[in-house]
Structure 1
Amino acid sequence: MTNSPPLPDSTAPSAASPASRNPERRREPLEGYADHADAVRLHASLIDDDPAAMFQEMRRKHGPLVPILLDDMPAWFVIGYRELHHVTSQPQLFGRDPRRWNMRDHLPPDWPSLPYVTWQPSVMYSEGVEHQRRSGAISDALDTVDRTELTLICEQVADLAIDEFSGDGQTDLISQYAYRIPAQVVTRLFGLSETDLPHLVKDVNHVLGGSEEAASALPRVLGRMGRLITDKRARPGHDITSHLLAHAARLTDEEIVQDLIVLMIASHDSSANWIGNTLRLMLVDDHFSMNLQGGRSSVGEALNEVLWKDPPSPNLPSRWAVQDCELAGRRIRRGDLLVLGVAAANADPQVQPAAHAGSGANRAHMSFSHGEYGCPFPAPELGEIIAKTAVEVLLDRLPDVYLTVKPDALRWRPSLWVRSLEALPVRFSPTVPVGQSPSNTWGAPR
């Protein structure tokens, strides 16, 4: 759904990165960056529960384009809505290939955000005609997904997840629900066999979570996706993989494997965070919590509110200047890194002073980025179906769900790149699993 990397960040870096503890390592990349003398230091430990105040102070001191030291590497933080729209609308000026970065030779091997700026042969880092060829094939394949069938798959997956804890009367809605759903839905759309599904989803969660098994899990993911390509060449079906294989773009097997992995991991991480952040909002906000007992009318509004206030990917280290240029009155050098401040741009008072007052109906947010390198992972419409269905099923199944801690006790995962709760502990009245109820049929309309 967003420009998440194939290998996202796993654990929060320490308050002082290795580079910041070594003055000699820090000094060299700053040569020639006199305009970064008052740069804002940006690293995960600075992101608190409410970053809005930090954005406001940055905007007051620096305007819509902030010179930053991203874990001690000079870069630019685009926090103005108009400026972010301009950058994402000009692919000829601001490219997506991280090999353009003029600081890449200075990166230490333990730089915290290295996975986000490491080039890989996927659609995510392609540009120009090549990007159009590969993203066009993905878009065409996603267009073949039947929306009704997608909703039914989401309901089945969500019901199965709830069945695992419905009799307990308590659970963590992040690890036991939000992170159990998107990958299972997307891999079913790929046409993966039911026997391979649980193993692949488990390995995806290892990769995303950065566990000790992540290094061994990624080759297993690659292997399973390679076998999927072989199977679908022999026995094509009505699934995303088969459509990519048959597409006029003539993608190679390696290209399809790379792009399916990007599609799966990016959609899983961002959709899971969208689900979790929406459930949090509906449990802690009086406006939404009052509607938990009487239907679904507020679910769509809550989903959109989250995209304004707590987007799943608040910042994206994803543009590099193709040539020397000017932005917001500042000189940008060829190869400079621009970090897209999605959450900050959404909060830009110059564009929308009262944006959040009516944001439930306003969809002008930048949470899916914009332009040619915007979000195809999956199409925002499909991502919304996944998130909306997951929230609706939970509220249908557990109508009396409530938080077991005070709202201010909830903690956000310390990260620059994802907006995700560490946990969302809840209680509810224990219920009989759907699979044990004779009145329920998989896929029955809710």
Structure 2
Amino acid sequence: MTRPPTRPVPLSGPRFQTDPAGLYRQIRGEHGAVAPVVLDGDVPAWLVLGYRELHQVTSDPVLYSRDSELWNQWDRIPADWPLLPMIGRKQPSILYTVGERHRERARVVSDALEAIDPFVLKERAERFADELIDAICARGSCDIIAEYAMLLPVRVLASVYGFSDEEGPGLVTAMNDMINGQEGALEGQRHLGASMGALLAAKSAAPGDDVASRMLANTAGFTAEEVAQDLMVMMAAGHQPSADWIGNSLRLMLTDDRFAASLSGGRHSVAEAMNEVLWEDTPTQNVAGRWASRDTHLGGRLIGRGDLVLLGVAAANSDPQVRTDAGALTGGNNAHLSFGHGEHRCPFPAQEVAETIARTGIEVLLDRLPDVDLAVAEDALTRRPSPWLRGLTALPVTYTPTPALGAPR
């Protein structure tokens, strides 16, 4: 049965920052598993809140395509539309390729990431984490988000991609400027693009044991520009969600008595906290997007050809039709949709890389600063006002000052 038309929900507002779970429950109660929404500039779209419906969309890449050229709203989109970096047109990256070309491209990415030695990855994550903690450990207080979580993932990713350690800090600045939309966002994008181009030129001349060299060596006929685009997508997709995964997990561990043992070295609780975050406080809240290749029905809604369909990951993870609070989290249940589903999901090797970086980052911090404690009341913590990626704006903590590694004690 098709639902009657209802007033669209603005995909903006303070509740995405303060109470997204309650907002998703309200939208589901008023609109069902698929809700009409409007983006910046009153641009219409559909938000899929149901777990089964989201599974259906991501399982059918022909009907619900990643080809943004299908969008029936392009004539309404101005050149300065703020969501263009997220919903781009004619972008050459893996995000917007479809069919066999996408599958081949995804295989190249997966193979290059899967070949990363897990011991080398963990060693580099530990080394960079120690380096960052050395800069703050003697002070007795810091902001974990700005001074740690937002610095670690891109340093590790840059290293395994093939960048030198000396290039890492510049890439951190460029990536964070791009993500935060600061005045330097355009310059950050240029720096990342130029750095990636220089990396690929160097690896073409002298390949190494790194992701960039392995992608260049593939036999699928991809150009250096395509490889550069995919590496930039992988770095952006791996950095911010991993940083938020670190921050959201540490917030949970510092504010929930169930995880108090973790602060004394309980490694098992770190994994439990990280898994719970993927269910209850996932960094990737909503994902754009899919486009209907023909008229169809979904969740009682008539979806028109070319309509934009948004994946409501956080809402689907909390869908009461498929889970209970206890059942979903028992035994590290991985049926959440935080990494996506279907052929456009986050490649499994990329998930493993992100988990290693995030878990190592948390464990090293707790090892080095074992009495770390929240410096403000829990209700004073704030989130970014975004419906897309959910993360803390700051996580101020205190701890007993300790010397840097190798410093005189």
TM-score in terms of structure 2 length: 0.95
**Residues 110 and 348, structure 2, Cα contact 8 Å, conserved in 1:** no
Using the TM superposition, give the Cα deviation of residue 376 of structure 1 relative to its aligned residue in structure 2, in angstroms.
2.7
In the alignment, the residues of structure 1 paired with residue 327 and residue 243 of structure 2 have an alpha-carbon distance, to the nearest angstrom, of 23
Residue number in structure 2 paired with 1:102: 72
**Residues 1:334 and 2:302 are matched in the alignment:** no
Cα deviation 1:36-67 (Å, max 9, x = unaligned)? 54222221434132211111111111111111
**Residues 1:111 and 2:89 are matched in the alignment:** no
Q: Please, which moves more after superposition, 36-45 or 205-214?
A: 36-45
After TM superposition, the structure 1 = structure 2 runs for residues 13-412 of structure 1, keeping only pairs within 5 Å, are 36-71=5-40, 72-119=42-89, 120-355=91-326, 358=329, 361-376=332-347, 379-412=350-383
Q: 1:436 aligns to what SS in structure 2?
A: coil
The runs of 4+ residues in structure 1 deviating greater than 6 Å are: none
Using the TM superposition, give the Cα deviation of residue 360 of structure 1 relative to its aligned residue in structure 2, in angstroms.
6.1
One-letter amino acid of the counterpart of residue 46, structure 2: W
| Shift in CA distance, 213/421, structure 1 to aligned 2, threshold 3 Å | same
In the alignment, the residues of structure 1 paired with residue 290 and residue 326 of structure 2 have an alpha-carbon distance, to the nearest angstrom, of 26
**Residues 65 and 77, structure 1, Cα contact 8 Å, conserved in 2:** yes
Using the TM superposition, give the Cα deviation of residue 356 of structure 1 relative to its aligned residue in structure 2, in angstroms.
6.8
Q: 2:361 aligns to what SS in structure 1?
A: helix
One-letter amino acid of the counterpart of residue 277, structure 1: N
In the alignment, the residues of structure 2 paired with residue 105 and residue 233 of structure 1 have an alpha-carbon distance, to the nearest angstrom, of 41
One-letter amino acid of the counterpart of residue 285, structure 2: P
Q: 1:205 aligns to what SS in structure 2?
A: helix
| Shift in CA distance, 76/35, structure 1 to aligned 2, threshold 3 Å | farther
Q: 1:75 aligns to what SS in structure 2?
A: strand
**Residues 289 and 311, structure 2, Cα contact 8 Å, conserved in 1:** yes
In the alignment, the residues of structure 1 paired with residue 325 and residue 172 of structure 2 have an alpha-carbon distance, to the nearest angstrom, of 41
Q: Please, which moves more after superposition, 195-204 or 220-229?
A: 195-204
**Residues 267 and 378, structure 1, Cα contact 8 Å, conserved in 2:** no
One-letter amino acid of the counterpart of residue 278, structure 2: L
**Residues 244 and 256, structure 1, Cα contact 8 Å, conserved in 2:** yes
One-letter amino acid of the counterpart of residue 251, structure 1: F
In the alignment, the residues of structure 2 paired with residue 390 and residue 97 of structure 1 have an alpha-carbon distance, to the nearest angstrom, of 36
In the alignment, the residues of structure 1 paired with residue 348 and residue 150 of structure 2 have an alpha-carbon distance, to the nearest angstrom, of 17
Q: 2:302 aligns to what SS in structure 1?
A: strand
Gapped regions of structure 1 (runs ≥ 5): 1-33, 439-446
Using the TM superposition, give the Cα deviation of residue 110 of structure 1 relative to its aligned residue in structure 2, in angstroms.
4.3
CA RMSD of aligned residues (A): 1.7
Q: Please, which moves more after superposition, 287-296 or 405-414?
A: 287-296
| Shift in CA distance, 356/45, structure 1 to aligned 2, threshold 3 Å | farther
In the alignment, the residues of structure 2 paired with residue 160 and residue 194 of structure 1 have an alpha-carbon distance, to the nearest angstrom, of 12
One-letter amino acid of the counterpart of residue 61, structure 1: E
Cα deviation 1:71-117 (Å, max 9, x = unaligned)? 32111110000000110010011111222111121123443323211
Using the TM superposition, give the Cα deviation of residue 348 of structure 1 relative to its aligned residue in structure 2, in angstroms.
0.3
Gapped regions of structure 2 (runs ≥ 5): none
Using the TM superposition, give the Cα deviation of residue 323 of structure 1 relative to its aligned residue in structure 2, in angstroms.
1.3
Across the two proteins, how many residue pairs are aligned to each other?
Answer: 405
In the alignment, the residues of structure 1 paired with residue 331 and residue 140 of structure 2 have an alpha-carbon distance, to the nearest angstrom, of 31
**Residues 265 and 366, structure 2, Cα contact 8 Å, conserved in 1:** no
**Residues 382 and 393, structure 2, Cα contact 8 Å, conserved in 1:** yes
In the alignment, the residues of structure 1 paired with residue 324 and residue 358 of structure 2 have an alpha-carbon distance, to the nearest angstrom, of 28
**Residues 163 and 435, structure 1, Cα contact 8 Å, conserved in 2:** no
Cα deviation 1:357-404 (Å, max 9, x = unaligned)? 735621110000100010139621111111100000000000000001
In the alignment, the residues of structure 2 paired with residue 252 and residue 219 of structure 1 have an alpha-carbon distance, to the nearest angstrom, of 20
In the alignment, the residues of structure 1 paired with residue 75 and residue 244 of structure 2 have an alpha-carbon distance, to the nearest angstrom, of 33
**Residues 114 and 349, structure 2, Cα contact 8 Å, conserved in 1:** no
In the alignment, the residues of structure 2 paired with residue 371 and residue 286 of structure 1 have an alpha-carbon distance, to the nearest angstrom, of 36
